[in-house]
Amino acid sequence: MKKGNKTRQAAPLPPGPRGLPVIGYLPFLGIHLHKSFTQLARDYGPIYKLWLGHKLYVVISSPSLVKQVRDHDVTFADRYPSTASKIISFGRNDIAFCPYGAEWRKLRKVFVRELMSSARLNASYVLRKRHVEKAIKDVYQKKTESMVLQGAPNISDLIPSLARFDLQGLERKIHVTFRRLDQIVSSIIEERRKLGEGNSVGEEAKDLLQVLLDLNNHGDYAAESSITDNQIKGILVDSMIGGTDTTSTTIEWTMAELMQHPDAMQKVHKELDEVIGRSNAVEEFHLPRLHYLEAAIKEAFRLHPALPLLVPRCPTEDCQIGRYTIPKGATVFINAYAMHRDPQLWDSPLEFRPERFLDENAAKFDYLGNSSQYFPFGTGRRVCPGIPMAEKMLNYILASLLHSFEWKLAHGSTEVDLTDKFGIVVKLEKPLVLIPTPRLANPELYYSYS
């Protein structure tokens, strides 16, 4: 671009390692991608590029640069889904991977207004309470007992010309998984439709599926609040992945950290006894007073964000971030894992210390993605739309499990193995196995659960 007699050159691409050979990049992607990306940031700085096959990746690990991405939120609002994600989301007919535009805005508006509003969440409390109570009863009676594919590296995503060969066999596995998933979801939808014929359900008894079916029954799919069958399926899969899987994973990480830190567990129990008492069961109205438990959950999210690289973004045009150009179509990862553990941002960042989220920091570090230092649910206009439900369920389930039982490690173990395994959701490599002992004063509280 010329200005007067001077030629203004475009900013360069970010620094980074040389492109990895076809044989070499699969071991690099490995099972700890978030940790590999964090190590590369130490070598190349807070923004760097990575050529994997024919695909350009850009990784950002700096709060100031994340803020710049948020300032260009519309440009970075699109997604670049993997082959697995496109299939599992029923052709990008969900909220997570739907291309940014009118259809995505419609889906998100429907989800937030119809499913995540205060009125809807309050109306569905009876359903949540019933399922949490059943879980507590099952534990008392000693009943103890997709995502990997979406996180798996696929050569076809890196070198599209190789897609027709399916060299790793991943797409065959994905399609098998998808067919099973489609059959299950379709049968659930069909059974509910048959059950619902001629029956009216009160608002307080409606679950997620019933709300979606009511919107589907409008018939006019061009209408503002009508959705298609595939969009119902896509939102249900989003809810299973973004709700069920991430919630259960975060519960496990929080329990693991509390078991590793008995002093913190003791503080949680003390708070539960003071707020609820051992003669009562947990109710949702108790939750706003459980400040230390909420801080423990936030600290678990800091150390173990369920999606450490969030959902990758894809700029719709060239954009300058910092001193560098991020080209249109690049895949952009925001490394929340690195920033949540950055010693320049956090005091003793590898320590589990819930107290850092108490007092004045309690409001500063919420889940809405407004802080460039802490954003376990993402940031910008594509921040997770299910935060209100996730926050309620996480606090409610953990409060109920911790209030109802004392827990000890199984098999005589004295330490928890906190090694993780990478997928689209990062979990403990070895599932946490604990032994519960009832701690409520009245045993009838367990049997009164429905």
pLDDT in tens, 339-364: 999 999 999 999 999 999 998 777 88
- In the chain, % of residues over pLDDT 90: 45
pLDDT value for 150: 45
Place of tokens 């589990």: 352
pLDDT value for 147: 39
Over residues 409-416, the mean pLDDT reads: 84
Say if residue 203's pLDDT is above 60: no
Residues 6+ apart with CB under 8 A from 39: none
pLDDT value for 374: 96
Q: Is 319 annotated as a binding residue?
A: no
- Over the stretch 289-317, which tens digit does the pLDDT of each residue have? 999 999 999 999 999 998 899 989 999 99
Query: Where in the chain are the domains?
Result: 18-447
pLDDT value for 1: 42
* CATH of the domain spanning 18-447, picked from 3.30.505.50, 1.10.630.10, 3.40.50.360, 3.50.50.60: 1.10.630.10
pLDDT value for 401: 94
Over residues 215-220, the mean pLDDT reads: 63
Say if residue 281's pLDDT is above 80: yes
pTM above 0.85, yes or no: no
Say if residue 101's pLDDT is above 60: yes
> What is the C-alpha radius of gyration for the chain, rounded to an integer number of angstroms?
23
Confidence of residue 224 (pLDDT cuts 50, 70, 90): low
pLDDT value for 20: 57
Say if residue 12's pLDDT is above 60: yes
Say if residue 257's pLDDT is above 90: yes
Over residues 148-170, the mean pLDDT reads: 48
Among 32-36, 58-62, 323-327, 388-392, the least confident range: 32-36
Structure tokens that stand for 366 in this block: 């919420």
